């Protein structure tokens, strides 16, 4: 028994003599900067999908329904169906006021030429049936970012819809959103944060002349969904050599540096994964040309996020050094208040119009 006590006592003494060391390494979290789209469903937007079923309507019934829809929405609204003036009285534009934006469809890329002969690429964005659906005053507008803290300046919100569609294609809950505005149901809707001075009555149409040629705008859109891609296409990696003993690792990422004490993959490591289908905001785009007949805007640049026929959102730029000093159409361009008619094509100052000659001949002296 004495020997057992001696062995047990020696073990305890050795354990106390051992120095306990714990290495703590802080790993930077990069997931907060990945810009993953939010899955939160806005509270003012009910579900759009519905199960379509064949109701076995006769040709006479289909024609009658078409006539009812055409009689109710035969002519597009040129002014608000409820009031001729906006909710708030028209005020002069001041620096710092925010007005609404537009919903545009990306329809293609086209070259333009400047006055100095330089060729630039431009993207065509068409404003399709943009109308105000709902106005949310500052007392009822509670954004998620300012939920836990009171914002310095109370802002309002304006819901804008685009692309009128058949009312029979939507559910009753979704269709009731357009009951107060008096317009046809819209396929796409977007909420813009505005100043209370820039409020508009529901049903007010928005045109491409909301902006002016030469203005600087920001564009928000969803990138093209590429699916699951490797590191060479997703992140632009160079890849492995093609020869000299390389076997089946030509497009692999290689070493990711997971050795050492941690021996694990660090958060934020560039690896294969899903590419695209993310919301991106590109700032500082310049408007080169506006067509008032078809409501088309030419924007300098060809890297606007999204594929052809996809929708993007345009609004005044938030870059402090590129904001316009000239007053825009505030709160928007209203044809009934502007006596002067707009020309069909409007160009920026440094853009060469297509109708003007490129070569000028002068008589010899």
80 confidence band (pLDDT: 50, 70, 90): very low
Average pLDDT for 96-112 = 93
Average pLDDT for 227-255 = 93
- pLDDT, averaged across the chain: 82
Average pLDDT for 118-138 = 93
56 confidence band (pLDDT: 50, 70, 90): confident
Reference 201, options 182, 218, 185, 228; nearest CA is 182
Is 127 exposed, middle or buried (CB count within 10 Å of its CB: 0-12, 13-18, 19+)?
A: buried
- pLDDT tens figures, 129-140: 999 999 999 888
Query: What is the structure's pLDDT at 38?
Result: 57
- pLDDT tens figures, 292-339: 999 999 999 999 999 999 999 999 999 999 988 888 988 898 887 777
87 to each of 73, 178, 199, 302, 330, how far by Cα in Å? 23, 17, 6, 38, 13
Query: What is the structure's pLDDT at 18?
Result: 46
Q: Is 151 helix (H, G, I), strand (E, B) or coil?
A: coil
Query: What is the structure's pLDDT at 351?
Result: 94
4 to each of 11, 61, 131, 232, 349, how far by Cα in Å? 11, 101, 90, 65, 99
Query: What is the structure's pLDDT at 4?
Result: 47
Instruction: Identify the sign of the CA torsion 146, 147, 152, 155.
Output: positive
User: Which residues lie across from 300 on neighbouring strands?
Assistant: 122
């Amino acid at each position: 028994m004495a020997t057992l006590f001696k062995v047990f006592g020696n073990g305890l003494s050795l354990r106390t003599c051992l120095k306990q060391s714990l290495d703590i390494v802080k790993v930077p979290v990069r997931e907060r900067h990945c810009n993953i789209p939010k899955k939160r469903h806005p509270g003012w937007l009910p579900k759009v999908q519905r199960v379509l079923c064949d109701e076995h309507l006769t040709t006479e019934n289909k024609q009658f329904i078409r006539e009812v829809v055409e009689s109710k929405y035969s002519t597009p609204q040129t002014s608000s169906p409820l009031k001729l003036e906006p909710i708030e009285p028209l005020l002069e534009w001041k620096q710092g006021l925010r007005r609404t934006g537009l919903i545009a469809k990306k329809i293609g890329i086209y070259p333009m030429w400047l006055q100095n002969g330089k060729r630039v690429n431009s993207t065509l964005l068409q404003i399709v049936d943009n109308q105000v659906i709902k106005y949310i005053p500052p007392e009822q507008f509670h954004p998620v970012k300012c939920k836990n803290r009171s914002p310095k300046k109370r802002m309002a919100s304006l819901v804008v819809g685009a692309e009128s569609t058949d009312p029979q294609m939507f559910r009753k809950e979704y269709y009731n959103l357009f009951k107060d505005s008096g317009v046809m149901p819209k396929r796409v809707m977007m909420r813009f944060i505005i100043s209370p001075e820039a409020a508009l009555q529901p049903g007010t149409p928005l045109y491409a002349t909301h902006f002016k040629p030469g203005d600087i705008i920001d564009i928000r859109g969803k990138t093209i969904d590429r699916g699951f891609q490797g590191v060479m296409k997703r992140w632009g990696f160079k890849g492995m050599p093609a020869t000299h003993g390389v076997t089946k690792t030509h497009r692999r990422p290689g070493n990711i540096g997971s050795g050492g004490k941690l021996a694990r993959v660090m958060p934020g490591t560039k690896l294969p994964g899903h590419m695209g289908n993310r919301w991106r905001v590109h700032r500082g785009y310049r408007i080169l040309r506006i067509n008032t007949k078809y409501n088309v805007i030419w924007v300098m640049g060809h890297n606007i996020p999204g594929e052809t026929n996809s929708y993007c959102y345009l609004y005044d730029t938030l870059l402090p050094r590129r904001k316009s000093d000239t007053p825009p159409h505030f709160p928007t361009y209203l044809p009934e208040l502007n006596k002067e008619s707009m020309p069909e094509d409007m160009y920026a100052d440094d853009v060469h119009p297509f109708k003007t000659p490129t070569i000028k001949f002068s008589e010899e002296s």
